Amino acid sequence: MKNNVKTNQEITYDSIMSSPIGRIRIVTNQIQLLELRFEGERADSFEQDVFSDNSSVLELHQIVKTQLQEYFEGTRKEFQFPYLMQGTAFQQEVYQALLKIPYGTTCSYQDIAIAIGNPKACRAVGMANHNNCLPILIPCHRVVGANKSLVGYAGGLGTKLKLLEIEGVRGF
């Protein structure tokens, strides 16, 4: 566990887990998940949890890792740990709509724009997805092009495809 001090003096704690889509950096404060970052195979990523004498932080990281591992194994469809959904009011609307996409299904950017009452906001929905700090948990990988094509993903299209395959979505 590595700790960092943010500019607003909130202490954050990072750890890395290996997964079928590469390394994932888990960032929390003392009580909730703040970010999941796809690290790929970056050489500067630390492999081991370095330090934390805070048992609640260690427990939170273990819960997140365990539930993500269960997701990758296909045995978990929903996550049950505290998290902070960060973003503008518009992004928050998009993220709430994303949370309603059932496991193993997809919808289009247009569908999300319509769901939030702004049918012309397809590109803005795409940008909100790009800025999602909690991929997998807030399932932006389930959003595809209007013609059901595999388009856009901040973690890369290979990662998006793998996540959809884990959920049983085929045809891309």
* 94 torsion bin: left (phi>0), alpha (psi -120 to 50), beta (else): alpha
With tokens 């690290």, the residue in question is: 39
Identify the CA nearest to 89 among candidates 124, 119, 120.
124
User: Is 107 in the active site?
Assistant: no
Cα three-residue angle 100-144-78, rounded to 5 degrees: 30
User: How many angstroms separate the Cα of 112 from the Cα of each of 39, 65, 126, 160?
Assistant: 27, 29, 10, 18
CA count, 13 A, side-chain hemisphere, 134 = 24
Choose, from 107, 122, 133, 140, the residue flagged as catalytic.
Answer: 140
The residues carrying an active-site annotation are: 140
